[in-house]
Amino acid sequence: MSPNPHFSHSVYFWIAEGAEASVLAESCQRLLSAIPGIVRFTVGVPAGTPRAVVDNSYGVALLIEFVDAQAHDVYQTHPDHQRFVDECRPLWSRVQIYDVLTESGS
């Protein structure tokens, strides 16, 4: 592991009844993508891969890579992230997060 690993933040949302995945995906892009410290920002939907080991039950995935863990910590308290949580919480029924340290540039 490099001395300054990147920090990958993977967030999986299960869509609330009556909500639309497209609205949540657009809100992710609009409210979160410009927060400082982000190296890579991706939002999408399940690929529907037909394998028993693949979980396709979520509705929207948010995949963010930060320059380091400190940038992730700044993101968590950033006003745009707080606004996203406050405004969009009704759009999901469940959220699951996986955070990973990765080799810089990998």
| DSSP letters for 55-85 | ----SEEEEEEESSHHHHHHHHH-HHHHHHH
Q: What is the CATH number of domain 6-48+55-100?
A: 3.30.70.100
Six-digit token string for 7: 């920090």
Bridge partners for 97 per DSSP? 11
Give kind and range of the element (H or E) at residue 52.
none
Contact 41, 64 (CB under 8 A): yes
The pLDDT value recorded for residue 2 is 64
Q: Where are the domains of the chain?
A: 6-48+55-100
How far apart CA 17 and CA 4 sit, in angstroms, is: 41
Question: pLDDT for 46-86, tens place per residue?
Answer: 999 999 999 999 999 999 999 999 999 999 999 999 999 99
The pLDDT value recorded for residue 93 is 98
Contact 10, 99 (CB under 8 A): yes
